[in-house]
């Protein structure tokens, strides 16, 4: 039998650089950033490069140069890669992170297509090989922890890091149900 659902959905606009989101993200990470660590990886969910280039109607901007996301362009409104860089930049500015203290990587690759890089697992190995003993990983594209943060980063990432010579990989938990984040979401729903 058919049921008619009476549900109203509202889709929020992208919030990758919203100050209240950045504030909540930095606040949740602060206890980890206050500890001793060698490097912080911002690990974002990966996408095939073709997903990025399809949105560039000019065909002459996205992924045509390494710094395409730093050059002003109309595609930035819908470009995931640009949004990744912007979130990271906002976080770094708000928290006082210097460029040499962090890097960006992409996780969760599937299939044979070329994906955004560098790959998080490769970056974890590189850091261990370069002598890093204690790294942090934050996954800003995920607002709640899931298999891709808990298993792929916290468990498997720790194994990869230790096998390559590192000692401790600490996953900074996603925002989950942290009070500041809940307040932000509630304010957006009003």
pLDDT digits (tens, 9 = 90+) for 112-163: 999 999 999 999 999 999 999 999 999 999 999 999 999 999 999 999 999 9
| pLDDT tens digit sequence for 79-91 | 999 999 999 999 9
**For residues 5 and 3, what is the distance between their CA atoms, to the nearest angstrom?**
6
Look up the pTM and report it: 0.93
What distances in angstroms separate CA 33 from CA 25, 170, 179, one per listed residue? 12, 11, 19
Given a contact cutoff of 8 angstroms between Cβ atoms, the answer to whether 49 and 79 are in contact is no
Q: Identify the bridge partners of residue 171 per DSSP, sorted by sequence position.
A: 137
Question: Which residues, at least 6 apart from 94, have a Cβ–Cβ distance to it below 8 Å?
Answer: 22, 23, 26
Q: How confident is the model at residue 75 (pLDDT cuts 50, 70, 90)?
A: confident
Question: Any long-range contacts for 118-126 (C-beta under 8 Å, 24+ apart)?
Answer: 119/46, 120/41, 120/43, 120/153, 120/157, 121/156, 121/157, 121/160, 123/41, 124/41, 124/157, 124/160, 124/161, 124/164, 124/166, 124/169, 125/160, 125/161, 125/164
| pLDDT tens per residue, range 19-49 | 999 999 999 999 999 999 999 999 999 999 9
Phi, psi of 99 (to 5 degrees): -55, -40
Would you give the distance in Å from CA 93 to the centre of its chain?
Answer: 16
pLDDT at 1: 65
Domains of the chain plus CATH, in order, are 19-189 (3.40.50.1400)
């Amino acid at each position: 039998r058919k049921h008619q659902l009476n549900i109203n959905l509202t889709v929020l606009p992208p919030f990758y650089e919203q100050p209240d989101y950045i504030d909540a993200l930095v606040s949740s990470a602060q206890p980890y950033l206050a500890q001793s660590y060698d490097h912080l990886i911002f690990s974002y969910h990966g996408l095939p490069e073709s997903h990025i280039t399809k949105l560039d109607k000019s065909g002459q901007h996205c992924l045509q140069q390494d710094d395409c996301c730093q050059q002003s362009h109309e595609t930035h409104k819908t470009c995931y890669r640009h949004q990744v860089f912007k979130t990271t930049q906002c976080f770094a500015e708000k928290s006082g992170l210097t460029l040499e203290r962090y890097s960006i990587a992409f996780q969760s690759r599937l299939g044979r297509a070329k994906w955004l890089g560098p790959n998080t697992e490769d970056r974890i190995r590189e850091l261990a090989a370069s002598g890093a003993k204690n790294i942090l990983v934050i996954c800003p594209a995920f607002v709640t922890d899931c298999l891709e943060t808990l298993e792929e980063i916290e468990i498997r990432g720790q194994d990869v890091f230790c096998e390559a010579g590192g000692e401790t990989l600490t996953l900074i938990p996603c925002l989950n149900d942290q009070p500041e984040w809940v307040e932000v979401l509630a304010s957006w729903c009003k």
